[in-house]
Amino acid sequence: MLGIGKEKELPTILLIDDDIVSREVIATVLTLHGHAVHTADNGEAALEMLASGVASPEAILVDAQLPGLSGIALLKQLRKHGAAGIFLISGSQPPEGLVAAADGFLLKPFGPEDLNRLLAGRRTSKATAPADDAEPVVSPETLAQFRQIMNPSTVREIYVTLVTDLKKRLVALENAIATGNKDEVRRLGHAIKGGCGMAGAQQVARLGEFLESKSDQLDNCATALQELYTATGKLERMLEKEFPA
């Protein structure tokens, strides 16, 4: 658990997300804004934390697409462990039935202010404008916010994690496209869009969104994959320039 938020008496959060980049960024940002945050990478692990008393959250953030136990079935199990508000998080619009089963929905990328509005009883979803070809490697606004609330080594760690994860996903994407596995292309695109969007990596997030939405067009996905390699390289160079080791 990241616990520095206890001093500010903001709600304790249980974050359930299988994507390491999204999980790291969300947990770090929420913690530095004053929340105590527990994390789990799947539904089963989260339920164990609740049952054992390791986590007693006042709000639960759960990704809409988890491996294993997920969706409405997971929400029903989570509700057996207290009265915490349960809020879906996702890089795309979940099915209406799933949204209705939760207490609110946040579209990645989101910030602490969006969560606070939900906790205050206001449902919100944050739409993002389409990116154009001139967007920066990393959103200057996001980078400025990170620098305000974190020390340079923490910001650097976020982007090191992001680049490392991206390189693994690039290999997986190449294999998925080569074998015609459209479902895997869509899954990987969704994960890239969500995690990189949270970190403000606009170019990479845009390409992840394209791969998710066009996973049935493998020729176009192959072209997008090459662009993704290029964007990842730009992100790595930005990291070396802005946050040298």
Residue pLDDT, tens place only, 40-76: 999 999 999 999 989 989 999 999 999 999 999 999 9
Residue segments in the chain with a per-residue pLDDT below the cut of 70? 1-9, 121-135
CB atoms within 10 A of CB 227: 14
Report CA 102 to chain centroid distance, whole Å: 18
What is the pLDDT at residue 201?
92
* pTM of the predicted model as reported, rounded to 2 decimal places: 0.70
35 vs 27, 47, 92, 234, CA distance in Å? Answer: 9, 20, 25, 33
What is the pLDDT at residue 43?
96
- Alpha-carbon Rg for the chain, nearest whole angstrom, is 18
CB distance 229 to 177 below 8 Å = no
15: its two tokens: 């974050």
Report CA 149 to chain centroid distance, whole Å: 19
**Domains (range + CATH), the chain:** 4-119 (3.40.50.2300), 140-242 (1.20.120.160)
- The C-alpha atoms of residue 68 and residue 229 are separated, in whole angstroms, by 30
- The C-alpha atoms of residue 114 and residue 32 are separated, in whole angstroms, by 15
CB distance 35 to 14 below 8 Å = no
For the stretch 118-128, pLDDT in tens is 877 644 444 33
CB atoms within 10 A of CB 190: 24
